[in-house]
Amino acid sequence: MCGGGGRTCVRYRQRVIVNMPGYLSGLAAALASTDRRVLANYMVWRAVASCVPFTDRRLRDLQQTLHAELYGQPTRQPRWAECVDVVSAGLYLAVGRLYVTRYFDGRTKNATADMVKKIRREMHDALTDSGTAFF
């Protein structure tokens, strides 16, 4: 199962560490006791809601009305800003790369790479010296 927009991808055979197993067992129980029609409607609603940013103004206005009622968001950002958010969420690595290429000079890139290298080294040393295995 793999989502877009910067979401974490979990492959079929990948192990997942669950810090709150009670949540998963509670979720399983809730799903088992929920009418299948309710679950199907929820899944359709989530699928449609995820497509609304790509639709016409009428549907986006309906979604904004819902968000205003649920979350107190009375206004929607301009369409251009919505488009930037969609592109940034879906292509965040590519957008970040374009930004760095355009606005960072070679000196800044080298200084940033050096800083990241030092941070990694310090983190490694701190974790190694503590005697505690975090990973």
- Structural domain boundaries in the chain: 26-73
pTM value surpassing 0.75: no
- For 64-117, give the DSSP string: HHHHHHHH---S---HHHHHHHHHHHHSHHHHHHHHHHHH--HHHHHHHHHHHH
Write out the chain's pLDDT in tens, 135 residues: 455 555 667 778 888 788 888 988 899 999 999 999 999 999 999 998 888 888 888 998 998 898 899 888 778 888 899 888 888 888 888 888 888 888 888 888 889 899 999 999 998 888 877 665 555
